Chain A
Amino acid sequence: MTTPTMAELATKGESPEVLFWVGCAGSFDDRAKRVTKAFVKILNATQTKFAVLGTEETCTGDPARRAGNEFLFQMQAMNNIQVLNGYGVKKIVTACPHCFNTLKNEYPELGGNYEVIHHSTFLQQLINDGKIKLNGGGTFKGKKITYHDSCYLGRANNIYEAPREVLQSLDADLVEMKRCRTTGLCCGAGGAQMFKEPEKGKKDINVSRSEEALATGASTIAVACPFCMTMMTDGVKNKEKEAEVKVKDLAELIAESI
C-alpha cells in the first residue's frame, strides 16, 4: 500500500489528479481506518494518481457547525482552505459524506472552490471506465446485500444511485429496506449526534434502523459513511446478529472483489 502525501509530491514538483480527504473518522476510528485502507488499495490497484494531506488535514468543522458553533466551524474551514489552496487542489475525493457535504457545499462561500466527489461516485466511475476488474464470479455473487442510505449523501446531496450501481457491479442480490432513498431512515449520528448521548426516548435510532436492515434478510449491510458504519455495527450487535450479518463500506466490498 503506497500513500503519497501532498507535501511529498510538492517537493518533487508534482501534483496529484485527486486529493483523498481521509477525514477524522477515517484517520482515527479503528473500524473506519480499515475502510480508508481498502479505498487506498483500490486507488493503488487502479493506478490513480492521488495524495493525502496526512498530518496537515484537520476536521472540516462539520460537527461544530451542526452543533451551532459557527466560529469554530469557520476557523477550521478557513485553515483547511488555506492549506488546500496552498497546494492548488482542484479535485477532492472522500469516503465521508459529512466531509463531502461540507467541502462541496459550504467551503465555496468561504473561498474554497473544488470539484468534490464522494467515493461512491468515484468507485462508480472507476467501474464504468473499466478500471476496476472484479474477479470472476465475485465474492458477493448472489448474496443478499442491503444498502443503507447516508442522509448526507442521499437527501442532502441527491446521491442515491451511485452507491447502488457499485453494489450491482458485484452481481449481488440488492434488497431494499422499506424506507430507502428519499425516505431512508437516518442512522442517528448526523447533526453532531455522533458526539453525544441521545435524548431520552423509547429507543435508539440506530437500533430502529438496524432492525429495518435485518428484516430484509440480507447478510451484508452496505454503508457509505463512517458514522453510519459505527451506528449500524452497534445496532446489529444490540440485536446479537453480528455473527451472521456484517456491516461493510462500499470500498471494502469492492476491495474484497478485486
Chain B
Amino acid sequence: MAILQQILFIITLGAAGYFIRKRVLRIRDNIRLGKKNDIIDRKNERLNNMLLVAFGQKKMFKRPIPAILHFFIYIGFLVINLEVLEFVIDGMFGTHRIFAPYLGRVYNVAMNVFEFLAMAVLIACVSFLIRRNILKVPRFWSVEMTSWPRLDATLILCTEIILMIAILTMNASDQILQTRTDHYISTGALFFSSNVTSTLQNLNTSTLIILERFCWWFHIIGILGFTIYITYSKHLHIFMAFPNTYYAKLEAKGHINNMPVVTNEVKSMLGLAPAPSAPAEPGRFGAKDINDLSWNNLLAAYSCTECGRCTSECPANLTGKKLSPRKIMMDTRDRMEEIGRSLEKGGQGLNDGKTLLNDYITKEEINACTSCNACVEACPVMINPLEIILELRRYVAMEESGSPASWNSMFQNIETSFAPWKFSPSDRFNWAKD
C-alpha cells in the first residue's frame, strides 16, 4: 500500500513537472517574441525595487484594506509552501511528517504558525470573494472584465480556500490518529484544527486514515494543479512580479524612451553625422504587434493580475473614454498567448493576419491617453502601460501617418512655425513688447 502511494506520488510529481516545464518554456518563448533590449544597468537600484516593491509589497499599501488582506495571502503562500517541501519528501520516501522528530518543539510552533496563516488566508480569500462578487467593487466589473477574467479571479480564491480547508482537516484527523497509531508521530496541540477533532472523534481509525490521506493527496495535487493553472491565469503575478519590478523603468516617469534609429537619421539629415553608406533596414517604427514591443513590455503583461488600480486612476477612463490601461496589458498578453498557441501547433504565429493594434487595441483607445502616468504610479508591481501606448502611437504617426487630423496640423505647425500653434516665429518675442 505504502509503496503504491510512493509510486503514484512520483508519477504525479513527474507529470506536473512536465506540464509546468512546458508552460514555462512557452511563456519564455512568448516573451522572447519581443524586441531585444539589454537591461543590465543600475543593478543595486533594481534589486532594491524588487525587494521593496515585490517582496516588501510597498506599493500595495496605498490602499490599506486590500493591502492587509493581500499580505495575509502573500505571507501564507510564502510560508505554507515550506510545508510542501515536507509533503514532497514524505510522498517520495513514504515517510510521515519527516521533520517532526528532528525539530521537536520547533515543529509544533511551525505547524501552529502554518495554521494561523491558513486561517488568515481563508479569511482574506472569503473577504476578497465578498468584495468582488457581493460588494461588486467597480474596478472588478468594468468593461474589460468579461466572463473569463471574473471567473479566473473567483477560481483562484475558491481554490485557495479549499486548499486551506484541506490542510486544516488533515491536521485535525492527524491529531486524533496520533493517539491511536504509532505511524502518526506527535505534533503537539495545533491551535485551530484541535477544535474540530471532537467532531471527528467518533470516526473509526481506518476512516480517519482515509480522510487524512485524502486531504494530504488533495492538498498536494491541488497545489501542483494550481501551479499549472497559474501559468494560464492572471495569478502568474506571484512569480512575474519579481522580475518585472527588477526590470522596471528607473528613469523619471516623464522620460520617454529614445529611438536611436531616428537619432541617426536626424543627425545625418542635419549634417551632424555622415549619412550611413548603405541605408540600414530600420525595421518598423513603433509597434503594430507584440514583436515590435520590447521583451520587458511583454514580461509586464504576464505580471499583470488585473487588479485595475491603473484603470481606476486613469483620467480618460474616469471620464468615460474607451482607454483602460489594464485592458492594454490584458490585450498584450492575450495576443501573445494567441500567437504562442498558434506557433505550438505549427501555425502562422505572427502572420495570422491579426495585429495587436486594431484587432485588440483601437486607435480611439490610444489617442485618449494624456500620458499623465497615473496608471504607472498606481501599479503595485511597476507595470508601465504608457510605454506600450506610446509605441502604438509611434507606429500610427510614423508608419501610417494616421494620427488624428488635429495632431497632423500640430505636426505641420511645429515643422513650419516651430510652435504647435500657427503663429509666425518672428512674433515669438512680442510678449516682451506688449
Interfacial residues, chain A to chain B (CB-CB below 8 A): 1, 3, 5, 22, 24, 26-29, 33, 36-37, 40, 52, 54-55, 57-59, 61, 63-72, 74-76, 78-79, 101, 104-106, 109-110, 151-152, 155-158, 182-183, 185-186, 188-205, 208-209
Contact = CB atoms under 8 A, between A and B. Distances in A.
Contacts of A75: 266, 269-270, 415
Contact of B263 (A61, A74, A152, A204): A74
Given A192-B410, A196-B404, A202 B254 contact: no
A196 B407 contact: yes
A59 B372 contact: no
A247 to B, nearest CB: 18
22 contacts: A28-B421, A33-B431, A54-B428, A55-B425, A55-B426, A58-B419, A59-B420, A64-B411, A66-B256, A67-B403, A67-B407, A68-B397, A70-B286, A70-B394, A79-B270, A101-B254, A101-B255, A157-B252, A183-B377, A185-B374, A200-B320, A201-B321
A190 B270 CA distance: 29
Contacts of B419: 24, 27-28, 58-59
A71 B427 CA distance: 25
Interface string B224-255: 00000000000000000000000000011111
A76 B420 CA distance: 12
Most interface-central of A105, A151, A152 (chain B CB within 10 A): A151
Interface stretch (B72-80, B330-338, B363-371): B363-371
A68 to B, nearest CB: 3
A199 B407 contact: no
B319 A72 contact: no
Nearest to B425: A55
Contact of B252 (A156, A195, A209): A156
Nearest to A63: B420
B318 interface: yes
Given A201-B319, A201-B320, A208-B315, A76 B414 contact: yes
B254 A55 contact: no
B382 to A, nearest CB: 13
Interface of B: 251-256, 258-259, 262-263, 265-267, 269-270, 272, 285-286, 313, 315-316, 318-323, 364, 367-374, 376-378, 390, 393-398, 403-404, 406-407, 409-411, 414-415, 418-421, 423, 425-432, 434
A106 B256 contact: yes
B353 to A, nearest CB: 24
Closest A-B pairs by Cβ, 6 of them: A156-B254, A202-B320, A191-B371, A68-B397, A68-B393, A201-B320
Contact of B428 (A40, A55, A68, A202): A55
Contacts of B397: 67-70
Given A71-B398, A185-B315, A151 B420 contact: no
Contacts of A188: 315, 319, 370
A230 B354 CA distance: 41
Given A58-B418, A78-B272, A195-B407, A71 B265 contact: yes
Contact of B253 (A27, A76, A156): A156
Most interface-central of B378, B390, B418, B426 (chain A CB within 10 A): B418
B144 to A, nearest CB: 16
Given A191-B372, A192-B407, A199 B316 contact: yes
B266 A26 contact: no
Nearest to A110: B263
A152 B254 CA distance: 6
B84 to A, nearest CB: 38
Nearest to A57: B428
A193 B321 CA distance: 13
Contacts of A198: 319, 321, 368
A201 B314 CA distance: 13
Contacts of A58: 418-419, 425
A68 B394 contact: yes
